[in-house]
Amino acid sequence: MSVELVGREAEYAGHLLLAWPGSSLGLGVVQREVLGAMADMVESLLSSDAGMARCGTVRRLDVPAGPWSSVSAISLAGNPSRGQVWEALEDAFGACAGRVFVSAAAMPPLALDLVEAVVGAAVVSTSSTGTGGEVPGAISFRVLVADTERAAGVEQGARLVARALGRARAWTDAPGNRLGPSEFVEELCEQGRVAGLEVTRLDGAELAARGYGGITAVAGGSSQPGWLVRLDHRPPDVNARAPVALVGKGVTFDSGGLSLKTGSVMASMRRDMAGAAAVGAVMLALPTLRVQAAVRAYIPVVENMPGGSAYRPGDVVTLYGGRSVEIDTTDAEGRLILAEAMVTAFEDGAQEVIEVSTLCGAGVLGRHLSGVMGEDALVGHLLAAAHEAGEGLWRMPLPVQVREGLRSTAADLHQVVPGGEWDSPMIQGGAFLSHFVPEGRAWAHIDLGGQVTRTSTSGTVASGVPVRTLLRFLTGRASRNDHAG
């Protein structure tokens, strides 16, 4: 696979894909030059097609033969967000083959954002399922832009972001029998070292010896041990004393444990490690993107199974750091391992912790939004980064009543609020984790909910959310630190 940015002097061949901005804007000057005598006819066809008013609609055009083997148009009408543009292009590119000439020069409202989306969507739509890398030779894209010099400035960054997105998706979609805890940890550590990260990991025996009761309990029912992986990105000449920390939930398969899930729900539980996949992919991208901020990732990795040594409802588990938790359901395992990872991050000096997880199955915000809750300033920066990245993020409350409702008489905390059926599972998960945030430290919880997957031309696949948001946030944080200095 190759992606090349070209100007109006380029030679055209293969399939021509036009980016259609809507009838109010029409074809751009450069697109008219490409189409020549067919421009008016093409514009008339697209303007009269009601379906082309909807972003993502693709039409193959019946036009006279030219230098192209075929011509089609994709609608980017209706002032779409960056995320909508990216997804629309990705779906269109996924159906392409051979040589594709993409005319993206008619979208002044999106300008360089469109170039980023075109390049990124082209790369991720042809990513290798194993590594998130590009598949050589399968398809080639030539992208027509109005200003090749300015567009080249965003091209490389778009490629790197897309590779991170592809890597996160590949991990998330991997079957549990092929990417169990040990296999996932091995890939994380090996690729982390290759990327230039500092890598440390604790296995099941080490975790038990150090008092990580949560990870140990959740992993108890599986034949595979639990793990805690730490990845460090420490650029030279950057203050690493108080890095931002990322925490990602890595449950490679979640049967629910003894609180067994139903079969229809369980089938999708290979994706219960989407948070860890996103965090790991982001960390691997930081050195190549040259992000000038110290960042650490803490990734607890387990498999939640109902074996003979599984933990039970009614058990009291003491987590790393000393807090005890009364187990109400073994299907609320994620908050236990995340709490221990968060405690470790704060213990290591993190001033800001961003935790990403599929903590509840309730899609209270639907399929296009993830919930975020936590400290005001940090949440504000994440919302801004999500808006820039084109990923849906919505602030959720943390009512004190829910937080206090987790108090237990048998332990320090319940996993869930007893009798709290009317309290949102998403809010309960965030409220539980908030008990593990020291005073004066910033924390944010991103619950992916229904946004873990997206529906594409190839079916239901992992979305890779919030890879782009986290990369925008970390790049912006480095910039904020520069200005502060």
Kindly list the catalytic residues.
Answer: 261, 335
> 420: which 2 tokens?
């709290």
**Taking each helix axis from N to C terminus, what angle separates 376-389 and 467-484, rounded to the nearest 10 degrees?**
120
Largest Cα span, the chain: 80
- Which residues have CB under 8 Å from 386's CB, separation 6+? 392, 393, 466, 469, 472
- How far is Cα 291 from Cα 160, in angstroms, rounded to an integer? 12
What is the DSSP pairing of strand 295-304 with strand 244-248? parallel
How many Cα atoms occupy the beta-carbon half-sphere of 419 within 13 Å? 3
Nearest Cα to Cα of residue 473 among 378, 350, 348, 368:
378
Q: What is the dihedral of CA 211, 213, 216, 220, to 10 degrees?
A: 140
- Would you give the distance in Å from CA 380 to the centre of its chain? 18
What number of other Cβ atoms are within 10 A of residue 419's Cβ? Answer: 8
> 298 pairs with which residues across the strands?
230, 247
Long-range pairs of 400-404 with CB within 8 A, sequence gap ≥ 24: 402/427, 402/428, 402/431, 403/431, 403/434, 403/435
